[in-house]
Amino acid sequence: MNLSGKTGSGLHLRKHFLALSVCILSLLPAFAQTGKWNDPKIDIVFRSLLAQQHLPVQQQKMPVAQVAKPTRAQVPGQQRMEDRYDCIVYTNAPGVLATKGFVIRSIQPGFVTAWVSLAEIPALAALPEVRYVQAPEVLEAHNDVAVGNTGASLLHQGVVNNTVYKGKGVIVAIFDSGIDWDHPDFRDPVDQTKSRILRIWDQTLTPIAGESSPAVLGYGVEYTQAHINNEIDGTPASYVRTQDVNGHGSHVAGIAAW
């Protein structure tokens, strides 16, 4: 009886062991799949977005993921639409990325800017030529400390070389929320039908009929001084679609203009 009892107990344990083994094996694909979005070469913002795809809807509440917002657009070379994200890819081999089919927007020393779907990010990071895939950073206005940090007031007072610098003859490039191109401050003080703005590159727009992107960068919409002048005098009207979304860009440009 004891022998029989031991044998029965052994069978019982073996059944539990087999059941446990099956459970563990069934979980392995899930854990392996988790590794796809847990790559340290992927920005935590993108990793959180990738992880959310595999969570129940009621659990998809990760505030960090809201930092990166996609743009819905047509897939390059296809007819379908999908959400795509801007990202910074640290690599010294941009040609390899392009060969693999990733959309490259600009090439800089040591990194490129790219436009990818969420599903493409793990494959992008897995390339040995890629060091890191970074999400774009959302910048905020800090005008309360800008003058002191930049030392602009010292330049205005002539502290450097005993020369007062006011910016005459200087061309200023401003990367910001946009510009109120129709404002009088940005027009020629002698001829108010002419703009002082040389070019506007609105990266949030997609070209429509009659518009084009900058030749080198290949995205967004570029408006020239001629376009702006034509808009000011109404020939044609409603041609320049760009606008300042919150006024900060116009504020900064206004400081430079004066």
pLDDT over 50 at 203, yes or no: yes
pLDDT of 159-201, one tens digit each?
Answer: 989 998 877 788 999 999 999 999 999 999 899 999 999 999 9
HEC readout, the chain: CHHHHHHHHHHHHHHHHHHHHHHHHHHHHHHHHHHHHCCCCECHHHHHHHHHCCCCHHHCCCHHHHHCCCEEEECCCCCCEEEEEEEEEEECCHHHHHHCCCEEEEEECCEEEEEECCCHHHHHHHCCCEEEEECCCCCCCCHHHHHHHHCHHHHHCCCCCCCCCCCCCCCCCCCCCCCCCCCHHHECCCCCCCECCCEEEECCCCCCCCCCCCCCCCCCEEEEHHHHHHHHCCCCCCCCCCCCCCCHHHHHHHHHHC
pLDDT of 46-95, one tens digit each?
Answer: 999 998 876 654 454 544 445 678 888 877 777 788 889 999 999 999 99
Higher pLDDT, 254 or 197: 197
Confidence (pTM): 0.52
Partnered with residue 74 across adjacent β-strands are 81
pLDDT of 3-59, one tens digit each?
Answer: 334 344 444 444 443 343 333 333 333 433 445 668 899 999 999 999 887 665 445
